[in-house]
């Protein structure tokens, strides 16, 4: 009679190990992020120092880069925009010919089957860098919730009208999913899905992206609307509220430091869960690899498998293009 567990029997060779795999990565699971800039320079392509391998790009350069990625197997992407001008209301976020609206139309013209997801927030568009409207003279960064909801819904509608395949609100205003759903439905976009950044923490891991998207707050911080890293129950309440209001997919952000929340959300709710492997996670892996401290490909794949294993169906990661180009996912 065996007195102990012989788990190594099912690890004896590569074939049997692959047969036992319970989690995998596919091209369809991964979403790539792009930052597009409103500029008259069609050749504008600026490397982002804190995100090696990533660029701020003009629409023409975006078209070229996305075309190469599609040829490698890219299935979906998310767009972030930097306007030519900013103001205290973030008006370029919902302008008919804003940078995201034009970029969506360009991409959908060339690749109608490409899933183009649009981030909906005001932080890249406001002169103060916060995710919504502030009271006149405010220097604390306290965003006015209900007036901001209206502008977030207006932004979402403008993206839908431009041809976005999915709306992804990241602002963390209370009630914004309901406002977006009602606005979209009233305009006839009843079939357009919403992927809510429902469980979004006030994280130090966002630093490189805020530099890249020129979206850092000029004063105060975002802790009055993004969640404290020590909270668990609050994240579950946010997810439940957004589902009730009409969210089709729930996102957890960041991914790696919050695998427990990905698992909790996926176990608790009967909706697909997305996770955002944010800029700080990407930058740390790149920096360690550049110093020769880790096997970069192995760590990238392990980090993403961990996110999938926790329960994420969709992963937004800046490694997507590289994985496709190298044939590491199919």
DSSP secondary structure, 78-122, as one string: EEEEE-SS-BTT-GGGS-TT-HHHHHHHHHHHH-TTSEEEEEE-S
Cα distance between residue 309 and residue 275, in whole Å: 12
CA distance 25 to 193: 23
- Residue 321 near residue 32 (C-beta atoms within 8 A): yes
Residue 115 burial class via C-beta count within 10 angstroms: exposed 0-12, middle 13-18, buried 19 and up = middle
**Residue partners of 116: CB distance under 8 A and separation at least 6:** 76, 77, 79, 104, 107, 108, 163, 164, 165, 166
Instruction: Give the DSSP per-residue string, 165-193.
Output: SEEEE-S--TTHHHHHHHHHHHTT-TT--
| Catalytic residue numbers, as ranges | 200, 253
Using CA atoms of 282, 254, 114, 123 in order, give the dihedral in degrees to the nearest 10. Answer: -100
E strands of 216-310, at which residues? 249-253, 273-277
Convert 25-47 to b/e letters by CB count within 10 Å (16 or more is b): bebebbbbbbbbbbbeeeebbbe
Report helix, strand or coil for 218.
coil
């Amino acid at each position: 009679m065996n007195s102990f567990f012989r788990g190594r029997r099912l690890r004896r060779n590569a074939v049997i190990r692959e047969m036992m795999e319970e989690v995998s990565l596919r091209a369809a699971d991964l979403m790539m992020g792009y930052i597009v800039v409103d500029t008259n320079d069609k050749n504008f392509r600026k490397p982002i120092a804190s995100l090696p391998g990533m660029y701020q790009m003009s629409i023409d350069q975006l078209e070229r880069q996305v075309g190469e990625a599609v040829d490698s197997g890219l299935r979906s992407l998310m767009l972030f925009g930097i306007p030519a001008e900013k103001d205290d209301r973030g008006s370029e976020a919902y302008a008919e010919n804003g940078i995201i609206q034009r970029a969506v139309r360009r991409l959908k013209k060339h690749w109608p089957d490409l899933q183009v997801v649009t981030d909906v927030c005001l932080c890249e568009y406001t002169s103060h860098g916060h995710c919504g409207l502030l009271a006149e003279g405010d220097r604390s960064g306290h965003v006015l919730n209900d007036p901001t909801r209206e502008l977030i819904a207006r932004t979402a509608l403008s993206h839908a009208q431009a041809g976005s395949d999915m709306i992804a609100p990241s602002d963390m205003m209370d009630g914004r999913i309901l406002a977006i759903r009602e606005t979209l439905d009233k305009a006839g976009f009843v079939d357009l899905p919403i992927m809510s950044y429902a469980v979004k923490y006030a994280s130090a891991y966002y630093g490189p992206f805020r530099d890249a998207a020129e979206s850092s707050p000029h004063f105060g911080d975002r802790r009055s609307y993004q969640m404290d890293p020590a909270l668990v129950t609050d994240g579950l309440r946010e997810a439940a509220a957004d589902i009730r209001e009409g969210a089709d997919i729930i996102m957890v952000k960041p991914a790696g430091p919050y695998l427990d929340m990905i698992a909790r959300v996926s176990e608790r709710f009967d909706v697909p869960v997305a996770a955002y492997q944010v800029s700080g996670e990407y930058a740390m892996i790149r920096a360690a690899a550049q110093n020769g401290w880790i096997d970069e490909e192995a760590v990238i794949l392990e980090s993403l498998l961990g996110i999938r294993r926790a329960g994420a169906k969709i992963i937004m990661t800046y490694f997507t293009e590289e994985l496709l180009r190298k044939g590491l996912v199919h």
